[in-house]
Amino acid sequence: TMYSLLCSFSRHRKLRLTIVESIQRHTQHHSIPLSWTMDKQAFLKVFTQLKEELIGDFQKLPGLSDALKEQLTTYYTQCLETTVPGGKMTRGLTVVRGVEVLKGRALTEQELFDASVLGWQVEWLQAFFLVADDIMDGSITRRGSPCWYKHAHVTQDNGINDALFLENLIYKSLRRHFKKHPSYVQLLELFIDTTHQTEVGQHIDTNGTPYANGKRAPLDLSRFTLDRYRGCVRYKTSYYSFYLSCALSLAYCEVPEDSDMYQKANDVCMRLGEYFQIQDDYLDAFAPPEVLGKIGTDIEDAKCSWMVCQALSLADEEQKEVLKKHYGKHDPAGVAKVKELYKELGLERVYSEYEEEQKKECDALIASIEPESFQDLFKFLLGKIYKRSK
């Protein structure tokens, strides 16, 4: 009814004003300092509005009973609240930071809100990938809690559909909030292209050891090369975890698609993405699950990880036999022996040296970027991942 629509509009208007007021407490009326980052609570309030809009869409579906609409509302409210927020939100906050850097001033109410909405679409994309990835990897926990498909009322059957549903919601929100924006098509294409790139990377990752006759083929250590690894990282991680947020900021600010700023962002983001994924591989092997927030399964899943690539380059024939015997086996004792081998080969030291070298190279690459003001976005990203423990 008209009355319910007016009530809904009023509720979202009040929520939006609360969001903006919360953000503005941090910005005041001055230029935003380089060290400023958006308050996570203010960012989360934007999620609440987006969630309410998307869940409210169930009420507009024709041909469904009130009972079915209530079932959808209850189930997907829990799904969104469980799978979308809860992480560090770096990808989403990077969009906000990028718009600030590019504008070079305090953002208007509309700009703050728009940048936050775009940021949450990146987080929605992350949720889609993680729900699907956990099913593919047979993972147990995510962010310190059971994976979504592991919830008793979800299971793998619902989990696959929910991953697809999460992806669809990105495009519903983009249409709702950006259909009249000059860069609407470019924003859509960035999400389409990034999803395609990430799914290419996921295929490379999943098939480090290929399948044959419905099961894993025998382990072939010769497939675990740094060349394969770098291709996987570029497509599975770098585009969606780093480049997408930066490119969305550029597109929203109407930087022309042929500007070399996109290529500069790409160059830095590919480097940051490789560094980030190598960190992930190291933490998968050595970080305690209670700190990491999940139980690492790279060894059991026979992943072409940086750790096993490095181990193969350093191991003698006897040590390689340990990998041949235990890598890719769902056997806790065997996994422990592989981790012992990693320590025996000094991979903790190798990683530490790599991290410091990567930090220097990233600093140098960022320093070469012009305009100089654009550097701050990448300093922000590097600061978020350098020496991280989870």
Q: Average the pLDDT over 266-282 and give the result.
A: 93
Q: Which of 134, 162, 280, 301 is catalytic?
A: 280
Q: Please report the pLDDT score of residue 113 as a whole number.
A: 96
Beta carbons within 8 Å of 174's beta carbon, 6+ residues apart: 121, 184, 187, 188, 191
Residue with tokens 């690539």: 309
Residue 21: pLDDT band (50, 70, 90) is very low
Residue with tokens 């906050």: 93
212 SS3 class: strand
Q: Which of 45, 97, 150, 236 is catalytic?
A: 236
Q: What percentage of the chain reaches a pLDDT higher than 90?
A: 71
Q: Which of 162, 281, 298, 301 is catalytic?
A: 281
Q: Which of 57, 137, 267, 363 is catalytic?
A: 137
Q: Please report the pLDDT score of residue 12 as a whole number.
A: 52
Please state which of the ranges 31-40, 48-57, 172-181, 184-193 shows the lowest mean pLDDT: 31-40
- Give, in order, the Cα–Cα distances in Å from 104 to each of 93, 113, 384: 17, 17, 21
What is the C-alpha to C-alpha distance for residues 384 and 92, in angstroms, rounded to an integer? 13
Q: Please report the pLDDT score of residue 30 as a whole number.
A: 34
CB-CB contact of 210 with 304 (8 Å): no
Q: What percentage of the chain reaches a pLDDT higher than 70?
A: 90
Q: Average the pLDDT over 139-158 and give the result.
A: 93
Mean pLDDT score across all residues of the chain: 88
pLDDT digits (tens, 9 = 90+) for 153-178: 999 999 999 999 999 999 999 999 99
pLDDT digits (tens, 9 = 90+) for 241-261: 999 999 999 999 999 999 999
Asked if pLDDT for residue 2 goes beyond 60, the answer is no
Q: Which of 128, 191, 242, 374 is catalytic?
A: 128
pLDDT digits (tens, 9 = 90+) for 186-234: 999 999 999 999 999 999 988 887 777 787 788 888 899 999 999 999 9
Q: Please report the pLDDT score of residue 103 as a whole number.
A: 93
Q: Please report the pLDDT score of residue 4 as a whole number.
A: 45
Q: Average the pLDDT over 256-273 and give the result.
A: 94
| 280 given a catalytic annotation | yes
336 SS3 class: helix
| 128 given a catalytic annotation | yes
Q: Which of 114, 162, 205, 284 is catalytic?
A: 205
| 114 given a catalytic annotation | no
What is the C-alpha to C-alpha distance for residues 95 and 385, in angstroms, rounded to an integer? 16
- Please give the full DSSP string across 231-288, using - where no structure is assigned: HHHIIIIIIIIIIHHHHHHHHHTT--TT-HHHHHHHHHHHHHHHHHHHHHHHHHHHS-
Out of 85-99, 142-156, 171-185, give the one with best mean pLDDT: 171-185
Beta carbons within 8 Å of 123's beta carbon, 6+ residues apart: 47, 84, 85, 87, 89, 91, 92
| 205 given a catalytic annotation | yes
| 88 given a catalytic annotation | yes
| 276 given a catalytic annotation | yes
Residue, of 320 and 205, whose pLDDT is higher: 320
Q: Which of 45, 91, 97, 142 is catalytic?
A: 142
| 329 given a catalytic annotation | no
Give the CA angle between residues 305, 162, 186 to the nearest 5°.
75
Residue, of 14 and 385, whose pLDDT is higher: 385
Please state which of the ranges 68-72, 295-299, 307-311 shows the lowest mean pLDDT: 295-299
Q: Please report the pLDDT score of residue 34 as a whole number.
A: 35
Q: Please report the pLDDT score of residue 295 as a whole number.
A: 81
| 380 given a catalytic annotation | no
Q: Please report the pLDDT score of residue 36 as a whole number.
A: 43
